[in-house]
Amino acid sequence: MTSAPTIPDITLNNGVAIPQLGFGVFQIDPKDTEAAVLAALETGYRHIDTAEMYGNEKEVGRALRASGLDRSDVFVTSKLNNGYHAYGDALAAFSRSLGDLAMEYLDLFLVHWPMPAVGDYTETWRAMEEIYRSGRVKAIGVSNFQIGHLDRLFQETSVVPAVNQIEVHPYLAQDELRAFGADHGIATEAWSPIAQGKVLDNAVIKAIATRVERTPAQVTLRWHIQRGDIVFPKSVTRSRVEENIRLFDFELTRDDMAQITALDRGERIGPDPDTFNWVP
């Protein structure tokens, strides 16, 4: 294998640097997680995206220690699960995540879903602010927040989220929500960046891939990178983990970018945050 590429950082609104490309561990079985994360770290990834909901925080922590890397070399994100939308519950859940990861701090902690019918996410956010002030997390953010949810945070709380992690891929370009975030200093993290594989047989993406001599996954991930979003594709397949990091030695033209963005058809593969109120 050739040497690992240099992955650019994005600077968040509080000055914290986050690698623009990371590795996601949703739907990786806990028994496979340590090996998968270790493979990603060996390949050169330095940013791991997990969540209490994924049930594999312990294994993520184990992989990091097995890698021999310093804690400070890897950016680690986890998320507050859906049943903890109350002040004390959120504080306790953060401590549990830290304990399961066996880490002294997290780089980023997110409210996983707004859960409007389950609790008051502004109360939850005030707990996130307290966690942030405690110094045990470098940045706090949200996930799956719509413009209305963000507006309420702006009106009723004080810390502006550093990121909003939302579903984004060529079939769901999310340009309005991304622009709203950018206007308020909130970086967009694009989850399911290749739509769990669903965009890879698209004729437009395949044609561009043929022309630039890359795979459809690389073209799609490069589209995200050139839009300035943060991505963390998931794969348990070593060759794909290596493929998905090779994004920094080619470029898409303005026309390629426009053609891929034009594939937007408002199609979600995940739930709608306005109505999703599922507690595991």
Ligand X SMILES: NC(=O)c1ccc[n+]([C@@H]2O[C@H](COP(=O)([O-])OP(=O)(O)OC[C@H]3O[C@@H](n4cnc5c(N)ncnc54)[C@H](OP(=O)(O)O)[C@@H]3O)[C@@H](O)[C@H]2O)c1
Applying CB under 6 A, the residues found at the interface with ligand X are 24-27, 49, 112, 143-144, 165, 191-197, 200, 217, 232-237, 240, 243-244, 270
User: Phi/psi class of residue 237: alpha, beta or left (left: φ > 0; alpha: ψ in -120 to 50)?
Assistant: beta
Q: Which two tokens stand for residue 22?
A: 């990371």
Can you tell me the distance from the alpha carbon of 206 to that of 251, in angstroms, rounded to the nearest whole number?
Answer: 15
User: Phi/psi class of residue 196: alpha, beta or left (left: φ > 0; alpha: ψ in -120 to 50)?
Assistant: left
Can you tell me the distance from the alpha carbon of 111 to that of 33, in angstroms, rounded to the nearest whole number?
Answer: 22
Residue carrying structure tokens 């898409």: 252
- Catalytic status, residue 87: no
Picking from 280, 270, 262, the residue whose alpha carbon sits closest to that of residue 192 is: 270
Q: Minimum Å distance from CB 54 to ligand X?
A: 7
Q: Helix H segments across 102-212?
A: 121-133, 147-156, 175-183, 203-212
Kindly tell me which of 158 and 275 has the beta carbon lying closer to ligand X: 275
Catalytic residue, chosen from 45, 54, 84, 171, is 54
Kindly tell me which of 69 and 200 has the beta carbon lying closer to ligand X: 200
Q: Minimum Å distance from CB 94 to ligand X?
A: 16
Half-sphere exposure of 119 (CA within 13 A, CB side): 24
Q: Minimum Å distance from CB 196 to ligand X?
A: 4
Kindly tell me which of 138 and 218 has the beta carbon lying closer to ligand X: 218
Kindly tell me which of 196 and 277 has the beta carbon lying closer to ligand X: 196
Kindly tell me which of 181 and 233 has the beta carbon lying closer to ligand X: 233
Q: Minimum Å distance from CB 56 to ligand X?
A: 10
The residue whose Cβ lies closest to ligand X is: 24
Kindly state the DSSP code that residue 248 receives in the 8-state scheme: S
CA 87 centroid distance within chain: 24
Q: Minimum Å distance from CB 167 to ligand X?
A: 7
Half-sphere exposure of 231 (CA within 13 A, CB side): 26
User: Is 169 part of any known ligand binding site?
Assistant: no
* Residue numbers annotated as active site: 54
Binding-site residue ranges for substrate: 112
Q: Which residues are annotated as a binding site?
A: 112
